[in-house]
Amino acid sequence: MYKELTKKIRKSLREQWFYHVIVGVVFLIYIAIVIIGNGIFLDDVVKILGFLFLFTGIGNLIYSFSGIGEKDFHWGEIFFWGILEVFSGGLLLSNKLMIAEKNLIEEVSLAIEKITAAKVELQGYLIIFYIGTFLTFRGISHIVTKIYEPEGINHNRTLGVIKRILILDGFIDFIFGVGVTLSMYLAQSTFYYIVFAYIFITSVLTVIFGLTSKYALKLEKLNDELDESNEVEISH
């Protein structure tokens, strides 16, 4: 079963590993521009995160199709998060959350002012809460589903590499998700820096995912060729 599953994943990764590397490098270029430019475009970090979610979601949707119908592959989970990532990316890019937040703030502030005669400053909370919650639950999902994945997957080099990277990605998502949520109680610049750091780490991990997948596939191909040659020698 895992041999057949690997064939599907191999084909997908051969077509996708370069996509992950390119996506990671593009966002690392943004990181470099912000650092070299002494904070230029840092205020656009939410839109950049939206693009990151969007491209990550597209990659996950394509990758999920390589194991569709195989319940032990958790393709449904990957497909589910791919949909949510594309949705979240589009949401952050479309400013829908900012519009909804503005309307909500006006209603809440008006209600509070009627009772206490005090003005309330809530701007930015809805976006922060959404991003923090999304990352936290995505992290928990990756950690739990990958740790309890079938043991047979660990016997395959490529699947083992993917599993370890996704578990690491899960912990990163969870830590930064909590950090983003807590930033509601701190200065707004703290939120920007946390998201900026998250984009940097995730970009590096995306590049590593692409390169290690390619390397694992190469080693696996060599091992398969060696096994085939040994079988031929034994048969003779």
CA distance 50 to 94: 9
* CA pair distance 51, 45, nearest whole angstrom: 10
Closest CA to 56 of 28, 83, 18: 83
How many beta carbons lie within 10 A of that of residue 18, not counting itself?
12
Confidence of residue 216 (pLDDT cuts 50, 70, 90): confident
Cα–Cα distance list, 21 to 15, 162, 163, 193, 214 (Å) = 12, 15, 18, 24, 10
Q: What is the pLDDT of residues 48-68, one digit of tens each?
A: 999 999 999 998 888 888 767
Residue 185: its pLDDT value, please?
A: 84
Distance CA 206, CA 204 (A): 5
Angle at CA 47, nearest 5°, toward 24 and 206? 15
Contact in structure between 52 and 27 (CB atoms under 8 Å): yes
pLDDT reported for residue 162: 77
pLDDT the model gives residue 57: 93
The enclosing H or E element of 142 equals: helix 125-147
- 127 neighbors 46 (Cβ within 8 angstroms): yes
User: Rg of the chain over CA atoms, in angstroms?
Assistant: 22
Q: What are phi and psi of 51, to 5 degrees?
A: -65, -40
User: Token digits for 81?
Assistant: 């998060």
Query: Residue 145 CB: number of other CB atoms within 10 A?
Result: 18
With bands split at pLDDT 50, 70 and 90, how would you rate the model's confidence at 213?
Answer: confident
pLDDT value of residue 160? 73
**In the structure encoding, which two tokens stand for residue 129, read together?**
């809460």
Which has the higher per-residue pLDDT, 202 or 13?
202
Among 160, 157, 156, 133, which Cα is nearest to 146's?
160
Residue 139 above 80 pLDDT?
A: yes
Contact 158, 10 (CB under 8 A): yes
Q: Does the pLDDT at position 225 exceed 60?
A: no
The tokens describing 4, both together, are: 């057949």
| Residue pair 31/203 in contact by the 8 Å Cβ criterion | yes
DSSP result, 28-55: HHHHHHHHHTTSTTGGGHHHHHHHHHHH
Q: What is the mean pLDDT of the chain?
A: 78
More confident call, 133 vs 225: 133
